[in-house]
């Protein structure tokens, strides 16, 4: 039997530099020449990283995310637009007040939700209801994810984690100030083209789908909206925005629930959007919930 889909909080019941190097050749060089070549390569790599790009660690693809600021939360204009669609209620007030937030350090964000193959390669099992190597792993609790992270970090990198709620929304909006964020070439994502970017109620056929099957957003991230809810690091607090810091905010005060973001295949355009917040107890396992990784440099 399918579990009750989470919507709002349960407690509320609602090109690469190496490509330009060419083949390696053995050459006679002085130390100063070598240093100049090395410095040039490092500068080229830094420039590439500043422009964004993909990196792979332990078989998991990541996108380079720059430091920056954005308006986190739902603005007055966005709330009015949702009210006009009768898609706003008292529980949505947890998305307010909007405020400009600063992400102070660059980081890496998973290009895709963690797949069942990636989970099985680390954990040795697959708890998902909707089976398929390339589908997102589902039915994993926040606590299950912590065990996955411990095993993955034990391989020696020790830098994998869940994104904070602020990092997640920053990546989902991808530089956009509109209701749904930006797609490739800074194309605004709207309710009428959301299906190009997200698996949601109207086209999911009531199950998850292989990651990367829809268009990426402006920062090259797939499935930030829809497919499965994504666990974040924070504890959920409906009133957090009113008291949160504006630089690298994260709610580390213990509460009943952990934050989930992005909506799922079960929900519609009113909930599958960057500002929509929800939470569930950290022991919750559901076919509606998965996760994606963040990684520190």
Could you state, in order of their start, the residue ranges of all structural domains in the chain? 52-295
Check residue 53 and give its pLDDT.
73
Residues of the chain with pLDDT under 50: 1-2, 4, 10-51
**pLDDT tens digits, residue range 240-250?**
999 999 999 99
> Torsion-angle region of residue 274: left (phi > 0), alpha (psi -120 to 50) or beta?
alpha
Check residue 19 and give its pLDDT.
30
Check residue 242 and give its pLDDT.
97
Classify strands 160-161 and 294-295 as parallel, antiparallel or unpaired.
Answer: antiparallel
Check residue 158 and give its pLDDT.
75
Check residue 156 and give its pLDDT.
84
Into which CATH architecture does domain 52-295 fall?
Alpha-Beta Complex (3.90)
Task: List, in sequence order, every beta strand (DSSP E) within 40-119.
Answer: 54-57, 60-65, 68-72, 99-103, 107-110
pTM of the model: 0.85
**pLDDT tens digits, residue range 26-80?**
223 344 443 443 333 333 333 333 345 799 999 999 999 999 999 999 999 999 9
């Amino acid at each position: 039997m399918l579990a009750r889909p989470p919507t709002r909080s349960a407690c509320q019941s609602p090109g690469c530099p190496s490509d330009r190097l060419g083949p390696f050749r053995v050459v006679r060089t002085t130390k100063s020449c070598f240093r100049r070549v090395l410095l040039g390569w490092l500068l080229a790599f830094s420039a590439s990283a500043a422009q964004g790009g993909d990196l792979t660690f332990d078989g998991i693809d990541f996108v380079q995310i720059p430091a920056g600021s954005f308006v986190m939360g739902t603005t007055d204009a966005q709330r009015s637009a949702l009210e006009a669609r009768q898609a706003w209620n008292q529980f949505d007030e947890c998305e307010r007040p909007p405020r400009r937030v600063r992400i102070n350090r660059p980081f890496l964000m998973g290009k895709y939700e963690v797949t069942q193959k990636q989970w099985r390669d680390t954990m040795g099992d697959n708890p998902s209801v909707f089976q398929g190597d390339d589908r997102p792993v589902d039915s994993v609790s926040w606590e299950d994810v912590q065990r996955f992270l411990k095993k993955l970090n034990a391989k020696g990198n020790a830098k994998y984690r869940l994104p904070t709620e602020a990092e997640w929304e920053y990546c989902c909006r991808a530089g956009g100030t509109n209701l749904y964020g930006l797609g490739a070439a800074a194309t605004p994502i709207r309710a009428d083209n959301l299906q190009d970017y997200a698996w949601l109620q109207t086209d999911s056929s009531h199950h998850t789908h292989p990651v990367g099957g829809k268009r990426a957003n402006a920062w090259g991230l797939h499935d930030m909206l829809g497919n499965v809810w994504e666990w974040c690091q924070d504890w959920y607090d409906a009133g957090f925005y009113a008291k949160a810091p504006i630089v690298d905010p994260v709610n580390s005060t213990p509460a009943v629930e952990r934050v989930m973001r992005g909506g799922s295949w079960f929900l519609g355009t009113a909930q599958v959007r960057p500002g929509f917040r929800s939470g569930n107890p950290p022991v919750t396992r559901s076919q509606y919930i998965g996760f994606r990784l963040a990684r520190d440099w």
